[in-house]
Structure 1
Amino acid sequence: MASGVRRIKRLAAATALVTTLAPVLGWTSLAYAQAPAGSKPGERMVVDARELVYDKDNNTVSAVGDVQILYQGRTIEADRVVYDRQSKRVVATGNARITESNGTVITGDRFNLTDDFRDGFIDSLRVVNTDKTRFSAPRAERTDGEVFVFDKGIYTACEPCVDQPERPPFWQVRAARIIHKKAEQMIYYEEARLEFAGVPIAYIPYMSGPDATVKRKTGFLAPKFLNTSALGYGFSLPYFINLAPNYDLTLTPTYLTRQGFLGQAEWRHRFVNGSYNIRAAGIFQQDQKAFLASPFGAGDDKFRGSVETSGKVFLNPRWNFSWDVAAATDRFFFKNYRIRSESITASTYLQESTSTVSLNGQTADAWFDMRGYYFQPLTYYDWQKQQPIVGPVVDYNKRIHKPSMIGGELSFTVNITNLTREAASYKALTPNDQRYLIATPSYSLFDGCAVYQKNQCLVTGLAGSIARATAEVDWRRNFIDPIGQVWTPYASVRADVFSINPNTTKYANTNVATIADPSDEVFGRAMPAVGLMYRFPFIASTSWGTHIIEPVAQVVARPNETNSLRVANEDAQSLVFDDTNLFEWNKFSGYDRVEGGSRANVGLRYSGTFGKEAYANLLVGQSYHLGGRNSYASGDLVNTGLNSGLDTRRSDYVAKAQFQPFKGLLLQAGGRFNESTFETQRADASATFSYKFLSTSIGYSRYEPQPDLGITRRREGLSISQSVSFAQYWSVRGNVLFDLDKYKYDRERYRDALALYQQYPASYSNPIYPNTGPFQTASASVGLRYQDECTIFDVSYSQSYADRQAGSTKDTRTVMFRLELRTLGEISYSQNLGATSTGDGVASSSR
């Protein structure tokens, strides 16, 4: 053995050996006996290695072979670790690796560190954080135990390719220097460029962002872009201000090349028992001519803006108070300036902003809700005076399980509704007369009823003040006899009080006084009911499945419904008779109407299971009016109940079937069929299939006309949607909706236009015959998506085609783009192509 060198080889557990001999060797920094300077008292260092080499001449101590050192929660591993006692530096070489206390793993070819492993230089560095983000650099320096400086560094949140780890990740940021300051929780990039698959696509001289440990931090958010004909090109850069852990402010200035600066701000505040936010937006328009003049747009307004607030406060464990309120200077502001609002409810063509305030309480067996509503339409063809202001609406329900003496379940229900409306809302029973529509511009505000006539118009909303209070108590109980029959007796009593004060003010040619008595009217209604439901399930097991067949019968006896024509039906206008409400005691959807007369509902249920994954369900049934006045044959101001399939003594048949032959394929079909001819009145069918890379669905619906409800045209449609994963991380999707009956309506419109042309050839052009077939596209979209562990890329195109009967006179085409890089941010962009939909308030020259 060379002079001054002593070698100690592992004889037993290396840790025990080092612990025993370290004091003898004088290895006070790598041994347990003494921790490095600045350490807390009592902290120990544990060393595990195949061999320890003590060199007195060079004043070094080396650990050689499978070295593992544990200190202050850090673990260092290497083939060889040399400690220079004089410089107090530790040099680790050969498969060097440090695992931090938080799980971060640092690897490199050579570590040159201080004796507490906090600071030093690392060659060929690679850092893998616990959130799977990665840094790498030819050389890096760590100072103060928390600042990493990566020279010629690379950052990515993507995992390396398993088969080709040397291949560049999907995206990475390469910079001259990357500085990670853990105390600030920030990462700074100098002379950075963003690369995709190793190809540079963007150069950024300087940028910074929070590291993955940050949940909230002051700074800029991802930029946003937009482009519309009325606004021009727009760019916004949100700035987030983290004022405190429980409240913050986001400022979003947006520059629009045609309209100037749009300012937006959002305040969020979370406290012990709730949270709320306030959002505001405003702009002084530079080019007002981009928008139509009032009432078809906001071109007359210089300043436009909105204020919104929403929140929820938990008053105690059972009660909470919430609100969602929005107000804008005009109905077009949200759509024109692409303001995202939580209050907006949307369908294909109709949009409105709904503001609501509510108080809610709930226990295990009781529920209370009181709220109010304000509706603001967002298109010019909806009239604000026809929108109701609703409040309060009070709902209360209390259930008592197994009450003494009678058993079963006792339920109490209360509803109070009050609303006001300035102008009555109408709907025509016959299609709009094109000539009258052209001659009378206000005609559309009344949906074809510029002058109310009882047999030609439906009143979808009565002007004036309307109030109703409803209270109901019901009881039911199940009895099972010795042979398995289930008997459920039922009893209820309900009382309603109405107060109707019609408004006789005239708007345009509309005379509300012809609809109802203009004097205040208070009247009541009572509805007791008794009933019995019977079920008798039969169970059979066969070699190929288990089957349950259950005949169901229900009888309800009640007196006649009263005052149906005096009731302003506001909340029970929708009635669809199908399998879901066949056995409902009252099939009306709201409180304003109540089922009267005696009725029997009968049906047959079947359910079967076949193996582990296959099953089938079937329900077929019919309802019979036994006596008294049929409520569904007694129309109200909107003719609810007529053409419903329940307005005859024997109702239409309803049926619903489901069948899953194997996992991934589900077939469903349901409908309503004429009680005498079995002709289809309503039909819905769908098939969905999903297996590995393929997902597809097909849906078909067909609804026959309901002339008493003002629906004179059959509605028939076919939808097809599909998604295919054609490569790892890549998928393509598409869907199309066909209006199978629109071509008939187009030809009817052609005949009307031709008649106008023949009568007024100087005023109208000769229309072109619509040579189209049944498969007319109502809407279509296609999209491409890439998604892996670090990236989401999505681009899509959608188009909705003009349908004047549904409220749209122009096609709408939209392209949307979204790119999200994990930990860096998200960029999204949408662009309308060509004309936009009618009712948006944009001047045609801007489209």
Structure 2
Amino acid sequence: MSFVPALLVVAALVALPVAAGPPAREDPPAAAAPAPAAGPAEDEDLVQFAADELVYDERANKVVATGNVLLRRRTEVLTADRVVWDRTEGTVLAEGSVRIGSERGEVLVADRMMLSDDLKDGAIENLLLVLQDGGRLAATRATRTDSVSQLERAIYSPCAVLDDAGCPQTPLWAVSAVRVRHDPVERRVHYRKARLEAYGVPILVLPAFSHPDSSLRNQSGLLGPDLRLTRELGVELAIPYYWSISTNQDLTTTAHIYSKELPLLELEYRHLTEAGPVRFALRGTYSEKITTDDDFEIVRTGEKGFRGMVEGNGRLDHATQDLRSSFALRLTNDPNFPGRYQFTFDNRFRSTYLLERQRDNLWFGARAWYFQYLAPDADSSLVPTALPLVDVMWRPDARPLGGRVMVEANALSLFRSNGQDMTRMLASARWDRSHVTSMGQRITLTGLLRSDFYHVRESDVADQAFYAGKDGVRGRFIPAAALDLEWPLIGPFARGVQTLVPRVMLVASTSGSNEGIPNEDSRALELEDGNLFALSRFPGYDRWEGGARVVYGVSWDWTRPGIALAADLGQSYRFVDEAQFVPEGTGLEDPLSDIVGRISLRAGRLASFTQRFRLDKDSLAVRRSDMDLSLGSGRTFASIGYLRYNRDVRLEDLPDTEEVRFGSQIALFRYWAVFGAMTIDLTSASEDPLTRNDGFQPIRSRAGFVYQDECFDFRFTWRRNYVNNLNAPEGNAFSFTLRLKNLGQ
């Protein structure tokens, strides 16, 4: 018989039914009638056919399909030019442009295949196995048993085998082997008698190894090594091993081997628990302690011992839906360890824990803070520990007098091993109401009532006398009121829309409320555009800006498609003098404040510019300048930053400083890019008498290049520290990173 209806009638009578699918061409030689419905037990064995022509040999019990053949069974799909299905033997012979695809995204391509009729077993000649991510396995011959492929004389590479013009090319790297096995269930590729090749040239012999086939990432095995060269440590080789403990937790063990120091071991554990993610890292070694001599040169003390650091962070949701906690941990038993082994150059470690509860209009948070100062001259006995720090914020639904109310409470216990200790409790209620007049002015009324309680101990040994309180129990009551008037004026300008907003604010509060109160959280006082219109310009709770004052300023912005320009300018006048609690040079020490402002420009995604400044009220000298400029996007970009504090503050923790920093990356060709960055300290002795710089002192720089394509990633980085100290030794460092896709990732 050579017609399709007869084939369908026969197929309906046998145990393994055949369903004819839609033909591959729009002009089929015959119309296919629907196959009989199969029962639930038969659905798994249902074979669906589609072809230009189907021939059923009733005597031989064979189905021959030719022309754009498509055969589907379960999750396997086969396409070919010609397929012969021997139903007696249970085999399928496919010839001509044969392809088998699976739901996992893998595709097997060959000239000729002899398969079982479930498409899982068989023999294949001249095959190509395309994996889920595009990696390829090619072989002269292969067998397939239960979807597991055994390849002979095979080669694997995730690199492109065709150039941009579509012509064949030798892959950048490949692994060839006498025998290769790919298990789609295990999702690994195993090699025997293999070798690594670069552009077809053997460079490494590999008797036996395996790697994931890219469809599964969390599999145990060696990761790609890193190579680095530094003056203090010599040659460093980092060899990481990744252990997939389960689908939601893993452990990475890295051995750091140095030519000038004893080895270092690093452990990183990650666990995605039902409550949330957690991570811990431990680094340690046995080494000799270092210090600095009178000339600030690094010397060894001869004292040996274990040195290391621990890090951790996590976020956990507790059984109660609105209760959760988070933590961050950074500790070291040697303040020189993090910088000496170049894990981090931070000179301050913070460890914290937060337990919080969030509801629609209520937030509760309880924190604990622990600090470690790693600077060589840091006195750890003066470093505070905060335990506990409690905050509560509640916004009731009620709207008294048409306004909104915010109730806040705070409690803090802060202690030192040798220094001022403090306990603080406070509560406040703030009321705000805004109204827009018929002429467009927005008027905001604010009222505040706050009560504080302090218990101060050992204030005579405070780290700074200016910040010290008075021993004993003290309290204060702070009322405040404010009237804020804004008048937005909007109109067209230069093919865009501009908005001009004059603003005036009147604030009144009690004065003299800082007497005898310690200052622990309000030290970093700096008048700027962000706090100009605040009820109190002091950060934190310990200092309150009392008395009466007027604040005035203007904001202007202009926008058009792709461009946005904005500017702010403002100043304040205080009617009551409270300069004894305001450090000189902060812009608020006199009744008339300095002038602060900000200019920002954004041009689409290609450029952004921000300039913040503070000008002396008398001479208009620049007391603070903070500029950031970024250009480009994607693989080519540049950024420049400039910061200058010219405040003449007579406090050690608020020194004047000036620095410039810049960084860039430039894409070269399709896969190459070069990058660089540098930080320069421009502070001179006239600005900071304690500095050892001459007005132009590079701090650190880095430069390098990167090559990255679809299968290969190589990076070279040069770093240099110009200032010699225990946490960042002076000298050069060179690092090399090589990654082959699917090998050691």
TM-score (norm 2): 0.86
Q: Does 1:500 align with 2:456?
A: yes
Aligned to 2:303: 300
Aligned to 1:70: 72
CA contact (8 A) 2:601 2:610 kept: yes
SS at match of 2:78: strand
Q: Does 1:549 align with 2:500?
A: yes
Q: Which digits, 9 at most, give the CA deviation of each residue in 1:299-336, with x for residues without a partner? A: 42333445555443322221113333454443334444
> Which amino acid counterpart does residue 627 of structure 2 have in structure 1?
A
Compute the displacement of 1:87 (Å): 4.3
Aligned to 1:131: 133
Q: 1:716 to 1:232 in 2, by over 3 A?
A: closer
Q: How far apart in 1 are the matches of 2:467 and 2:522?
A: 19
Q: How far apart in 1 are the matches of 2:192 and 2:269?
A: 32
Compute the displacement of 1:226 (Å): 5.3
Q: Does 1:356 align with 2:352?
A: yes
Aligned to 1:314: 317
SS at match of 1:406: helix
CA contact (8 A) 2:467 2:519 kept: no
Q: Does 1:628 align with 2:624?
A: no
Compute the displacement of 1:480 (Å): 1.2
Compute the displacement of 1:628 (Å): 2.3
Compute the displacement of 1:113 (Å): 1.3
| Counterpart among 448, 464, 474 of residue 430 in structure 2 | 474
Q: Does 1:779 align with 2:700?
A: yes
Q: 1:748 to 1:387 in 2, by over 3 A?
A: closer
> Which amino acid counterpart does residue 822 of structure 1 have in structure 2?
K
Q: How far apart in 1 are the matches of 2:286 and 2:602?
A: 59
Q: 1:651 to 1:159 in 2, by over 3 A?
A: farther
| Counterpart among 361, 381, 391 of residue 385 in structure 1 | 381
**Which segment is superposed worse, 377-386 or 191-200?**
191-200
More strand as a share of residues: 2
Compute the displacement of 1:404 (Å): 3.9
Aligned to 1:208: 210
Q: How far apart in 2 are the matches of 1:512 and 1:676?
A: 30
Q: How far apart in 1 are the matches of 2:634 and 2:358?
A: 43
1:669-680 equivalences under 5 Å are 669-680=611-622
Aligned to 1:441: none
SS at match of 1:385: helix
Compute the displacement of 1:551 (Å): 0.7
Compute the displacement of 1:102 (Å): 2.7
Compute the displacement of 1:656 (Å): 1.3
CA contact (8 A) 2:7 2:56 kept: no
1:321-340 equivalences under 5 Å are 321-337=325-341
Compute the displacement of 1:248 (Å): 4.4
Compute the displacement of 1:502 (Å): 0.5
Compute the displacement of 1:280 (Å): 4.2
Q: How far apart in 2 are the matches of 1:326 and 1:692?
A: 33
CA contact (8 A) 2:583 2:649 kept: no
Compute the displacement of 1:683 (Å): 1.9
Compute the displacement of 1:40 (Å): 5.4
SS at match of 2:545: coil
Q: How far apart in 2 are the matches of 1:48 and 1:562?
A: 88
Q: How far apart in 2 are the matches of 1:188 and 1:745?
A: 65
Where do 5+ consecutive residues of structure 2 fail to align? 21-34
> Which amino acid counterpart does residue 634 of structure 1 have in structure 2?
Q
Q: 1:659 to 1:375 in 2, by over 3 A?
A: closer
Q: How far apart in 2 are the matches of 1:115 and 1:290?
A: 72
> Which amino acid counterpart does residue 502 of structure 2 have in structure 1?
P
Q: How far apart in 1 are the matches of 2:111 and 2:558?
A: 65
Compute the displacement of 1:782 (Å): 1.7
Q: How far apart in 2 are the matches of 1:21 and 1:61?
A: 11
Aligned to 1:813: 732
Aligned to 2:168: 166
> Which amino acid counterpart does residue 452 of structure 2 have in structure 1?
D
Q: How far apart in 2 are the matches of 1:692 and 1:305?
A: 38
Count of residue correspondences: 724
Matched residues, percent identical?
28
Q: How far apart in 2 are the matches of 1:748 and 1:322?
A: 39
Compute the displacement of 1:30 (Å): 6.3
| Counterpart among 186, 190, 208 of residue 188 in structure 1 | 190
Q: How far apart in 2 are the matches of 1:609 and 1:163?
A: 45
Compute the displacement of 1:741 (Å): 4.5
Aligned to 1:452: none
Q: Does 1:121 align with 2:123?
A: yes
**Which segment is superposed worse, 809-818 or 528-537?**
809-818
Aligned to 1:700: 642
CA contact (8 A) 1:683 1:701 kept: yes
Q: 1:17 to 1:522 in 2, by over 3 A?
A: farther
Q: 1:292 to 1:731 in 2, by over 3 A?
A: same
Aligned to 1:569: 519
Q: Does 1:736 align with 2:692?
A: no
Aligned to 1:844: none
Q: How far apart in 1 are the matches of 2:435 and 2:703?
A: 55
Compute the displacement of 1:76 (Å): 1.1
CA contact (8 A) 2:405 2:429 kept: yes
| Counterpart among 702, 725, 741 of residue 822 in structure 1 | 741
Compute the displacement of 1:608 (Å): 1.6
CA contact (8 A) 1:390 1:420 kept: yes
Aligned to 2:23: none
Q: 1:203 to 1:745 in 2, by over 3 A?
A: farther
Aligned to 2:722: 801
CA contact (8 A) 2:289 2:304 kept: no
Aligned to 1:406: 401
Q: How far apart in 1 are the matches of 2:137 and 2:36?
A: 34
SS at match of 1:685: strand
Q: How far apart in 2 are the matches of 1:89 and 1:559?
A: 95
Q: Does 1:599 align with 2:549?
A: yes
SS at match of 2:381: helix
| Counterpart among 614, 635, 646 of residue 563 in structure 2 | 614
Compute the displacement of 1:217 (Å): 3.2
Q: How far apart in 1 are the matches of 2:231 and 2:380?
A: 27
Q: 1:687 to 1:167 in 2, by over 3 A?
A: same
CA contact (8 A) 1:277 1:311 kept: yes
Q: Does 1:587 align with 2:537?
A: yes
> Which amino acid counterpart does residue 617 of structure 1 have in structure 2?
A
SS at match of 2:541: coil
Q: How far apart in 1 are the matches of 2:94 and 2:340?
A: 63
Aligned to 2:153: 151
Compute the displacement of 1:614 (Å): 1.9
Q: How far apart in 2 are the matches of 1:712 and 1:236?
A: 40
CA contact (8 A) 2:340 2:727 kept: no
Aligned to 1:754: none
Compute the displacement of 1:138 (Å): 2.4
> Which amino acid counterpart does residue 606 of structure 1 have in structure 2?
W
Compute the displacement of 1:536 (Å): 1.0
SS at match of 2:109: strand
Compute the displacement of 1:278 (Å): 4.8
Q: How far apart in 2 are the matches of 1:578 and 1:310?
A: 33
RMSD: 3.8
> Which amino acid counterpart does residue 336 of structure 2 have in structure 1?
F
Q: How far apart in 2 are the matches of 1:587 and 1:469?
A: 21
SS at match of 1:681: strand
CA contact (8 A) 2:648 2:687 kept: no
CA contact (8 A) 1:504 1:511 kept: no
**Which segment is superposed worse, 733-742 or 536-545?**
733-742
Compute the displacement of 1:263 (Å): 4.3
Compute the displacement of 1:574 (Å): 0.7
Compute the displacement of 1:705 (Å): 4.0
Aligned to 1:790: 711
Compute the displacement of 1:187 (Å): 1.6
Q: How far apart in 2 are the matches of 1:680 and 1:319?
A: 48
| Counterpart among 177, 180, 186 of residue 178 in structure 1 | 180
SS at match of 2:650: helix
Compute the displacement of 1:181 (Å): 1.8
Aligned to 1:111: 113
1:486-565 equivalences under 5 Å are 486-502=442-458, 520-542=471-493, 544-564=495-515
